[in-house]
Structure 1
C-alpha cells in the first residue's frame, strides 16, 4: 500500500505533464496530424524527456525495503538497489501516438538512460524499456489506437508492456532471489499505476480535444447564425444600408466594443465605441485598415499605436481587421474593435476569420447573382422583343384588305397594331409594368386576330379593376391568350376563352381558360418546365413565363396548368401582391 501511494504521487507528474501538453497547440497538432520526419523528431524529444524525468524521480527499493524519501531525484543507484518508476508510461504513449519508429526511438533513449543510472536491474530495465517501445508502437499501429482514440486498448497495451518488464527482470536480473523479491513487491503497484497513468493521460488529452471541438462547434454555429442573419443584406452588396445592419448584428452576436465595415474608399458603417470620430461618408483613417486593403491579409493590433487612429483620445485599444474578398480581389474590410487588449482572445480571432470567409463568400455570391440576373435580363428582353413574323405580315395584309372596304376599321386596326408594338417595346425595356398595360396588350392582340378570324372564338374578360396598378412582368398574360387561340382551336371552327384577373388572399391570380381541344397528361407535365420540339410548337412562351416569374418572385410565385383532352385547358399564374426582390 505504501508503494501504491508513492507511485500515485509519481503519476501526478504525468497528470501535470499531460495537462500542460494538452494546452500546447504545437504538441496537439504533432500528436494528431499526419506526422512527417520533423513531427516525429519533436515527439521523440518530448517523450524521451518525460521518460528520463520519470527515471530520475523513481522510488528506490533495496532488499525489499522502500527507502525513505530523503531526496526527490536520483542521479545514481547503488548496485544493490532498484527503482520503481513511471518510465514506461512515456514509452507507451510515444508508441501509441507516434507509431513504431517514435516508440522504438523513445524506448532506446529511455532504456540507455536507465542503464546509466545503475542498480542490479539496470540491464533488465533497459532491455525491457526498449522492448516496450517495439511492442507499444507495433500494437498501436495494428489496432489504430491514435485514429480511434481507444483508451481501453491503450491501457491493455500498457499493462502488457509493464508485465513484460517484470518478466525480463526475473530472467535477466541477478541474483534471481533478489529479483523475485523485487518483482513480488513492485509488480502490482507498477502495473496498475502505470496503466492508470496511461488512462489519465488519454482522458486529459481527450477531454481537452472534446472541449476544443465543442468550442469550434459553438463558433461554427455562431458564425453560421450570423451568416444567416446577414446573407439577405450582403446580397445587396457593400452599401451603407446593408453594412450598417450587418455591423449591428455582428456587434450584438459577438459582443465586441465596436464593429466597422469599409469598402476600398471609405467607411460604410461603424457601430459602437468611437462612433463620434469613426464617421461614415469619410475616407479611411486608420493605417491598419489601409494595409489590410492593400495587402489582402488579416492584421491585428493590441495597442492604440498599432491601430494608428489619428484621433488622440480614441478609446479603442485593440483590433482585428479582416479583408473582404470577391474572386480574390479585396473589396473591403471587416473590423472588430476592443477597448481592452486582453478582450481580443484567440476564440474571437478564429470566429472573426470564419466570418471574414463567410462574408466574402456572400459578397461573391451576390456579385455572381447580379451577373446572372443581368444575363437573364438580356435573355428575357431578347425573347420579349421577338415578334412572330407571320403575325406581323398577316396583320399588314388584313389592314391592306380593309383599306379598300372599310377605311375606318383599317385605321382602328392600325392603331391597335401600333399599341401592340408599343407594348412589345415597353416589355423589352422594363422588367415590371402595370397590369393595365398588359391588359391593353392583350386587347390589341385580340382586335387584330378577331378581325382576321371573325366569329371563330369568343373572349370574355372578368376583371378586378382595383388591381390594374399592380406591377407584373410584361408578356405574362398575352402569350397565354395567344397560345389558346393558336393551339386550343386549331382544328375547331369556334370556341370560348375566359381571361380572369382577381385577388385571392394576398395573391394576384391571372387565369386563362378555354374549351378547346386540350392536351395529353404527358404534354401538360412538360409544358413550362422546358422547351419542347413537337408539331404543335416548342412551348417557348410558357417556358419564358415560368422562368421569369420564378426569377422575380421565387417560391412565392405559382404556375399551374390543367388540361383534359377534348375538354379544354386552364392556365393559372399566382403572383404575390407585395414588393418583388427585383425592385
Structure 2
C-alpha cells in the first residue's frame, strides 16, 4: 500500500504541473472562470478528457498483486489492472464545468480505458462516466467552482473513487481478483486522488487570487492617475492641460516618455525625446494615424514601428492609446519605452484602463463645454432681443420711413418682429430647419439694408430640397453679420453670396463675401479659440465651431478661407442624415 501510494503521489505531481500550466493559459482561464458557452464547454471537455487519457497511459500496472510503475501502459493484459489518477481530471471537469463537461470528459477517459483492456476495463470505464455525471451534479449543487471549498472538492473526489471501487466489485470478474485489487488500491487511490483534486483547486484559486490582486492594483493605480489628471483633461485637449497630464502620467507609470496628440499634431511630449518630439509639430508616424483612424490600442515593439526620423532617438517601443469622445477618436496618448520587452501584459491592461478613463474625462469636458456654449448662445440670443443699438437703430430707421413710405415701414416692422421671434425660438431648440435659419437671416438683412442702402447686395442660391434639413440655430446669421461689419471697410460695393448644396451625404452652407479679407495670423485661429482684437473676439465663430463638433459628434465643422483685399469664404458642413 505504501509503495502504491508513493507511485500515485508521483502521478499527482504530473497533475499539479498540468494544473499550473493551464491556470496561466489566458484562453483557458477565461473559459474556466467565467460563464461558459457551448464552444467553451467543448474545449473543457477535450482538455480534461485528454488529461484522463494521459492518466490512463501513466497508470500503475497491478498483476496478481504485483505492482509495476512502468510508464506508458499502451495495453493491459487480461489478468492485470491499473491504478491511476484518471478520476482527478474527470472530477475537476465536473466541478468546474458542470454535468455536461463532466459527462463529456468522463466519456473520453472512460471509453479510452475500456479499449486498454484488462479484467477491470468495463468496470473502470463505466465508473469514470458515472463519476463525470455525479461530480458535475454535486459540484453545481455545492457551488464548488465559485466558493472553492476544498472540503467539498475533496469530498466529491472521495465519493467518486469509492463509487469506482464499488463498480469494480459489482462488475469486474473474477470476483476474487476484483476484491483483491480493491484491497490493494482502494486507500491509495481514494486519498491520493482526493489530494490531487485539492491541489488542483488550490492552484486555480491561487491563480485567480493573483489575477484579482493584479487587476485591483491596476485599477487602483489607474484611478489614482485619473484622479490627478481629471482637473487637466476636463479642460479639453490643449497644450497646457496635456503637458500637465502627461507629466503626471509619466511620473506615475515610470515610462520613459509620454506624449499626447489631437487629430493633427503633438500637444505635449514629456520625457525622453522631448528635444525633437516638439509641441505643435505635425503627427509624424503612421502608427498614430492608425490609432486615430481605427480607435484601437496599438503596440509598437521596435524602433522601426515608431518611425521617428531622429536617428539618435532612444524611444524603442510604445503603446499608443485612443482618446475618444462619443465614440469618435479625437486624439492619442502615447507611452514610450526604451525596450519592447518592458511592455508586459500588466502595462497593456493598465494602458487600456487609462485610455477608457481619460476618454470619459474628455467626454465630461465636452458635455460641460457644450452646456456652457448652449447657455452662452441662449444668453446672446436674449441679449440680441434687447440690444440697444440694434433695437433703437431699427426703430429709428422705421420711424424715418413712416412719413415717406408707410408700406416699407410696415414691412420693416414685421421683419423686426420676425427677427426677435426667431431669436426666442432658437434659444430653446438644439436644431431648426434650414428654412427658418434662412428666414432669420432675411429678416436681419432687410433691417440692415434699410439702414445702409446700396452698401452691399446679398444673393441666395439655396437648393429647395434642403430647406427641411435641420441645422443648429444662430449658425448663419453671425457669419453674415461678420461680413457686413468687418468685411466691407473699403469703398467698393460689397457682395455676399449664401449657398446651400448637398455634397455626398453632407449639407454645405457657404457664406462668401468680396470684402477686405482676414489676416493669415488670425485666420488660422478662427473657430479654434477666442481672439483678442479691436474689431471683436471671434467668440461667435468659436461657439459655432464647438457646437457643430458636439451636436454632430465631430462630423460637423466650419471652414474658413480668406485672402486679404479679395474676400472671405466660410463653409458650414453638417450631416444630412442626422
TM-score of Structure 1 vs Structure 2, range by shorter chain? 0.5 to 0.7
Once the 2 structures are TM-superposed, how far is the Cα of residue 383 of structure 1 from its aligned partner? 8.8
Whole-angstrom CA distance in 1 between matches of 2:106 and 2:141: 19
Does structure 1 residue 109 correspond to structure 2 residue 108?
yes
Structure 1 residues without counterparts, runs of 5 or longer: 388-583
Once the 2 structures are TM-superposed, how far is the Cα of residue 325 of structure 1 from its aligned partner? 0.8
Whole-angstrom CA distance in 1 between matches of 2:19 and 2:79: 33
8 A Cα contact 1:94 1:106, kept in partner: yes
8 A Cα contact 2:99 2:136, kept in partner: yes
Aligned partner of 2:9 in structure 1 is 8
SS at 1:294 equivalent: helix
Once the 2 structures are TM-superposed, how far is the Cα of residue 179 of structure 1 from its aligned partner? 1.2
Once the 2 structures are TM-superposed, how far is the Cα of residue 264 of structure 1 from its aligned partner? 1.1
Aligned partner of 1:247 in structure 2 is 246
Whole-angstrom CA distance in 2 between matches of 1:125 and 1:86: 12
Whole-angstrom CA distance in 2 between matches of 1:223 and 1:37: 35
TM-score computed with the length of structure 2 as normaliser: 0.65
Aligned partner of 1:158 in structure 2 is 157
Whole-angstrom CA distance in 2 between matches of 1:195 and 1:141: 18
Whole-angstrom CA distance in 2 between matches of 1:183 and 1:260: 70
Alignment of 1:79-478 (within 5 A): 79-377=78-376
Whole-angstrom CA distance in 2 between matches of 1:128 and 1:331: 62
SS at 1:42 equivalent: helix
Aligned partner of 1:19 in structure 2 is 20
SS at 1:297 equivalent: coil
Aligned partner of 1:47 in structure 2 is 48
Whole-angstrom CA distance in 1 between matches of 2:178 and 2:274: 79
Whole-angstrom CA distance in 1 between matches of 2:327 and 2:251: 29
Alignment of 1:26-37 (within 5 A): 26-37=27-38
For 1:195-234, what per-residue CA distance to the aligned partner results, in whole angstroms no more than 9, with x for missing partners? 1111110110110110000000000000000000000111
Once the 2 structures are TM-superposed, how far is the Cα of residue 378 of structure 1 from its aligned partner? 5.6
SS at 1:321 equivalent: strand
Once the 2 structures are TM-superposed, how far is the Cα of residue 374 of structure 1 from its aligned partner? 3.2
Task: Figure out how many residues of one structure are paired with residues of the other and give that number.
Answer: 385
Whole-angstrom CA distance in 2 between matches of 1:327 and 1:384: 32
Whole-angstrom CA distance in 2 between matches of 1:221 and 1:228: 10
Whole-angstrom CA distance in 2 between matches of 1:190 and 1:360: 57
8 A Cα contact 2:325 2:360, kept in partner: yes
SS at 2:137 equivalent: helix
8 A Cα contact 1:259 1:270, kept in partner: yes
Alignment of 1:423-572 (within 5 A): none
Whole-angstrom CA distance in 2 between matches of 1:122 and 1:351: 52
Whole-angstrom CA distance in 2 between matches of 1:295 and 1:167: 62
Whole-angstrom CA distance in 1 between matches of 2:269 and 2:94: 54
Whole-angstrom CA distance in 2 between matches of 1:184 and 1:383: 97
Structure 2 residues without counterparts, runs of 5 or longer: 387-578
Q: Aligned pair in 2 of structure 1 residues 274, 201: CA closer, same or farther (>3 Å)?
A: same
SS at 1:333 equivalent: strand
8 A Cα contact 1:89 1:194, kept in partner: yes
Once the 2 structures are TM-superposed, how far is the Cα of residue 41 of structure 1 from its aligned partner? 1.2
Aligned partner of 1:495 in structure 2 is none
Whole-angstrom CA distance in 2 between matches of 1:325 and 1:267: 16
Whole-angstrom CA distance in 1 between matches of 2:371 and 2:149: 51
8 A Cα contact 2:50 2:108, kept in partner: no
For 1:397-448, what per-residue CA distance to the aligned partner results, in whole angstroms no more than 9, with x for missing partners? xxxxxxxxxxxxxxxxxxxxxxxxxxxxxxxxxxxxxxxxxxxxxxxxxxxx
Aligned partner of 1:410 in structure 2 is none
C-alpha RMSD of matched pairs (Å): 1.7
Whole-angstrom CA distance in 2 between matches of 1:10 and 1:84: 10
Once the 2 structures are TM-superposed, how far is the Cα of residue 61 of structure 1 from its aligned partner? 1.1
For 1:354-397, what per-residue CA distance to the aligned partner results, in whole angstroms no more than 9, with x for missing partners? 1011101101101111222334456677899999xxxxxxxxxx
For 1:446-465, what per-residue CA distance to the aligned partner results, in whole angstroms no more than 9, with x for missing partners? xxxxxxxxxxxxxxxxxxxx
SS at 2:244 equivalent: helix
Once the 2 structures are TM-superposed, how far is the Cα of residue 101 of structure 1 from its aligned partner? 1.3
8 A Cα contact 1:292 1:298, kept in partner: yes
Whole-angstrom CA distance in 2 between matches of 1:101 and 1:327: 43
For 1:480-514, what per-residue CA distance to the aligned partner results, in whole angstroms no more than 9, with x for missing partners? xxxxxxxxxxxxxxxxxxxxxxxxxxxxxxxxxxx
8 A Cα contact 2:324 2:331, kept in partner: yes
Structure number with larger C-alpha Rg: 1
Whole-angstrom CA distance in 1 between matches of 2:371 and 2:147: 46
8 A Cα contact 1:287 1:309, kept in partner: no
8 A Cα contact 1:286 1:310, kept in partner: no
8 A Cα contact 1:260 1:336, kept in partner: yes
